[in-house]
Structure 1
């Protein structure tokens, strides 16, 4: 019988709470507990050593060992490999932000472990063992808010920028051929189409930031501009004509990337004029 942990998918624990609940060690990516007969797997995406990834409903989890070739008979790798034949219960947590362990659920080995090349702690290629895992209960499992995926990409981008061209080539040339894919939960906003249309009419075919004509026209012959909320809705901005302008696609991307104070000030003045 599985360990009664009382958690639901997407529950978030601190490392201390995780240790207290499962009676396991404070550190490590594979934590076995004799007291609860559980193996807690932690995929920490804030660290770049392992290439763990979801591909549809299967989580490809890299085994234990940071330097040199990994062994299927080593420590918790063996424990996970034999878990379908033993009574050890396996649980998966993912980390996207420091000390926030997201519970995904109970998992089981759903395919044969396989080997692939990954870089070790010394930036040398080695063979690792990858374990295909599936959730026992697929309901809501594996889902994350999109902000966590964005946070993971931001961390990886910052790390990538620090690498030399040779180091980038080394990593990129051995990237997984199958891209990771997973279900994300997004927050949607119901925008007022009357406000959006008014902003476009007010612009009269001219981008309200660069002040250049719309780059092209729609099939109906209308100038193509995109509505933009000066104070973003995601940050509490209002869906009003005083907070909405019409921008060309380039300027729209610029505002969502840079959002400079100078440009924000200009757009606020433009939006205040009816």
Structure 2
């Protein structure tokens, strides 16, 4: 019988709360709880040592051991390997943002573990064990905030940039052609359609940053420009004519990527002309 933890998929815990519930260790990616007779697996995407990932509906989880080749007989690796034949329950948490442990649910070993090459903490190549895991209750959709995914993506992008080309090719060749889908929670803002339309008419088909014509026309024959809030709504900006401009897609992406001071000042001057 599984431990009564009282958690629901997508619940977010702090490390202290996780320790309090399972009475497990404070650190580590594989924490055994004698109190719950459970193995708590933590995949921390904010750290770059292990290469855990979802492929379809299977989570490929890297075993325990930070240096040299990993062993299936070592510590919690053995517990996870034998978990389908024992009464140990296995739970999975993912971390996309420091100290935010998202509960995925109870998992089980869905296939035999396999080996692949990864780098250890000293950046030396070694063989690790990968455990294919599936959620026992797969019909539940886990809701993950967009900001958590962005944090995870940033870590992975930095990791990818550091790889030598041959290692990058090896890693890219393992990508699934049937990636799993994840439910992402986003925060939306209601925008005034009249403000948006005014900004586009004021631009008259010309990007208000690069001053080039719109890159293409819509099916209705209208120049395609996107409205942009100079002071972002997410940072307290107002949805007003004085804070809204019309940009080509390239400049719009540039503003959300760089938001250079000189560009902000130029757009403020443009938007001040009513």
CA RMSD of aligned residues (A): 2.1
Give the TM-score taking structure 1 as reference length: 0.89
Greater shift after overlay, 20-29 or 228-237?
A: 228-237
- 1:178 paired with 2:156, answer no
Q: Which runs of 5+ in 2 are unaligned?
A: none
The equivalent of 2:144 in structure 1 is 144
Q: How does 1:185-196 map to 2 (within 5 A)?
A: 185-196=185-196
Q: Which runs of 5+ in 1 are unaligned?
A: none
The equivalent of 2:74 in structure 1 is 74
The equivalent of 2:273 in structure 1 is 273
* Aligned length in residues: 270
SS in 1 for 2:134: strand
| C-alpha deviation, 1:142, in angstroms | 4.2
Q: How does 1:94-105 map to 2 (within 5 A)?
A: 94-105=94-105
CA deviations on 1:122-153 (whole Å, 9 max, x unpaired) are: 32322222111122223545441121111112
How far, CA to CA, are the matches of 2:205 and 2:247 in structure 1? 9
| C-alpha deviation, 1:28, in angstroms | 1.2
The equivalent of 2:50 in structure 1 is 50
How far, CA to CA, are the matches of 1:221 and 1:195 in structure 2? 21
SS in 2 for 1:174: helix
| C-alpha deviation, 1:109, in angstroms | 1.4
The equivalent of 1:113 in structure 2 is 113
How far, CA to CA, are the matches of 2:220 and 2:165 in structure 1? 46
Q: Cα 1:77–1:142, aligned 2, differ >3 Å: closer, same or farther?
A: farther
| C-alpha deviation, 1:205, in angstroms | 1.3
Give the TM-score taking structure 2 as reference length: 0.89
